[in-house]
Amino acid sequence: MRNKNDLLPFNAVYLAVSLGFSATAAASEELEQIVVTANKRTQSVNDVGLSISAISVDKLEEQKLTSLEDISSVVPGLVYSASTANTPIFTLRGIGFNEQTLGAYPATSLYLDEAPMPFPVLASHSAYDLERVEVLKGPQGILFGQNSTGGAINFISAKP
């Protein structure tokens, strides 16, 4: 029968080699820097003091996100539905309402290149040729005005 101390040098060498490989693998992977304009200025997503989900053009193309309904499938807490008149209804963190009129003010603000879209019906075609989508969760009244109780969705168009 072998003594447990006989395997100790082998285990020490194995541990040292495996830690060396994991350190080099971690050093070779760098995370992509995501830049957002949620606070009306360009800054890193890590520096923004908000709950934000940003979808880059790479992720939009990789996951084939071509409609507003597709975008809601990858953002936690965002629900998209259409009214009987095909008006988009966005609900963020459970805040939103199902209003049948086209001119109803939403509980979630919508923006295209930081310009407000006062009525949800204007967002019907905003999922085309996008650079990124920023979804800011929670009340955004200070930066985005009165109709952002649930949050704000900013569609950033691709530059020509």
Q: Tell me the pLDDT tens digit for each residue of 96-149.
A: 776 666 666 777 888 888 888 877 777 776 667 888 888 888 777 667 777 777
Q: Tell me the pLDDT tens digit for each residue of 26-48.
A: 555 666 666 666 556 666 666 66
For residue 26, is it within any domain? Answer: no
For residue 15, is it within any domain? Answer: no
Q: What token pair was written down for 3?
A: 């003594």
State if pTM tops 0.85. Answer: no
CATH of the domain at 39: 2.170.130.10
Q: What residues make up the domain containing 123? A: 33-157
pLDDT for 25 beyond 60: no
